[in-house]
Amino acid sequence: MTDDAAHDHERIETRAIHAGQEPDEETGALMTPIFANSTYKQDAPGEHTGYEYSRTGNPTRTDLEDNLAALEGGQFGRAFSSGMGSINTVLNLLEAGDHVVAGDDVYGGTHRIFTQVYEKYDLEFDFVDTTDHDAVRDAMQENTELLWVETPTNPLMNINDIDALTDIADEYSALSAVDNTFATPALQRPLEYGADIVSHSLTKYLGGHSDVVGGALVTDDQELDEEIGFYQNSVGATPSPFDCFLVLRGTKTLPVRMDRHCENTKELASWLEAHEAVDRVYYPGLESHPDHELASEQMDDFGGMLSFELDGTLEQARTAVSETTVFTLAESLGGVESLIEQPATMTHAAIPKEERLAAGLTDGLIRVSVGIEHIDDMKADLQAAFDEAL
Ligand SMILES: *Cc1c(COP(=O)(O)O)cnc(C)c1O
């Protein structure tokens, strides 16, 4: 544990490496050790160091939680064993009979836990186009206690105006939570725009190496943090010390990784946009993106995710994503390696076809998580796959 105020004035590159972590006083060990233990010696009953039992608190986890809080510019961080574990905890804050408004293109797992798990506990959910603020206002009710926002969204990279949406939540005295997984705090810090809670899947960019599953919540409100801590401990979806260590290792390089992800994605987006085999590219960094201006204001850069429509059939797009060798055919995102997938048959296959097409998720749509390999190798890989498929 550190005096985090010491890092408050520092830039994110410095905080990523130092916040939450101090060399070990006894040994000088630079890195936070993996505290692989469940329990802690007490000097007398109830007299302990602050750690009693590792579900409640673990020093490796504390360093990660402090590091994540510092990255988001908040005071309080809580880590979970998955992004779904963190989303579950936000829902734990609600009561039966409460109403939630969420984007109609939220992460599939978010939609699933909302409707298939919490509706049966009598929570009510409305999914609306959160780029349409009138629609959001219309959806807000007397019993609306939470507005759930994601931006950029998956897979069409819509941009939601965090500042405007958190204002609407405030008008209705509802909590606002932003899933910041796609942008990361290196590019976008929702607390600065008035969000009450920032939610993360650490599995993606924060871990960054496709080797760990984790989640986190960050807030700037002590009372809210204590409530979150109560559910974190009561429900028990806490990460192992080893997982915390891996994510701490990942966050140190987050700003440099994001720089390269963004640089590569910008270049790939322009190349795809000019490509004759491509009908349309969805990337907020392109001037052709309808929310390019909002993204430029809200984000420091445009991220490493893009989608594009191949000018072909479902089968041709399927062949294209199966032929790449630099891009690995896989779900998930945010690692150093490039991934490719076909939403229609993979991440969004559960959506009925009519609905999927109406939402703009066409048969030829391909989503890529652009890694940090050399951009020329990525282009050559996609070109070869297009040649094979079309
Ligand atoms: C992956 C993801 C989640 C869920 O996180 P897990 O770590 O897979 O449980 C939530 N939101 C977004 C935007 C994601 O990409």
Catalytic residue among 66, 179, 220, 363: 179
In DSSP terms, 44 is beta-bridged to 47
Gap from CA of 23 to ligand 1 centroid (Å): 32
CATH number (1.10.340.30, 3.90.1150.10, 3.40.50.720, 3.40.640.10) of 254-389 reads 3.90.1150.10
Q: Is the CB of 215 under 6 A from ligand 1?
A: yes
pLDDT in tens, 299-344: 999 999 999 999 999 999 999 999 999 999 999 999 999 999 999 9
CATH topology of domain 5-251: Aspartate Aminotransferase; domain 2 (3.40.640)
Name the DSSP letter for residue 171. H
Rg (CA), the chain: 21
Strand order in the sheet with 328-329: 278-282, 305-310, 365-369, 339-341, 328-329
pLDDT in tens, 32-62: 999 999 999 999 999 999 999 999 999 999 9
Gap from CA of 331 to ligand 1 centroid (Å): 11
User: What is the pLDDT averaged over residues 272-291?
Assistant: 98
pLDDT in tens, 124-144: 999 999 999 999 999 999 999
Which residues are CB-contacts of 337 (< 8 A; sequence separation ≥ 6)? Answer: 210, 328, 371, 373
Asked if 101 contacts 136 with a C-beta cutoff of 8 angstroms, the reply is: yes
Helix/strand/coil for 233: helix
Characterize the bridge pairing of strands 365-369 and 215-219.
unpaired
For residues 242 and 261, give the distance between their C-alpha atoms in angstroms, rounded to a whole number.
Answer: 26
Q: Whose CA is nearest to atom 2 of ligand 1?
A: 201
Domain boundaries of the chain, sorted by first residue: 5-251, 254-389
Greatest Cα-to-Cα distance within the chain, rounded to the nearest angstrom: 74
Greater pLDDT, 279 or 7: 279
Q: What's the mean per-residue pLDDT of the chain?
A: 96
For residues 59 and 20, give the distance between their C-alpha atoms in angstroms, rounded to a whole number.
Answer: 10
Q: φ, ψ for residue 122 (rounded to 5)?
A: 70, 25
CA-based nearest residue to 16, from 70, 52, 62 = 70
Q: Whose CA is nearest to atom 7 of ligand 1?
A: 83
For residues 365 and 345, give the distance between their C-alpha atoms in angstroms, rounded to a whole number.
Answer: 10
Q: Is the CB of 203 under 6 A from ligand 1?
A: yes
Read off the pLDDT band of 352 (50, 70, 90).
confident
Cis upstream peptide for 152 (omega within 30°): yes
User: What is the pLDDT averaged over residues 95-123?
Assistant: 96
pLDDT above 50 for 201: yes
89-93, 223-227, 293-297, 354-358: least confidently modelled range: 354-358
Q: Whose CA is nearest to atom 9 of ligand 1?
A: 83
User: What is the pLDDT averaged over residues 261-275?
Assistant: 98
pLDDT above 90 for 350: no
Q: Residue 1: its pLDDT value, please?
A: 45
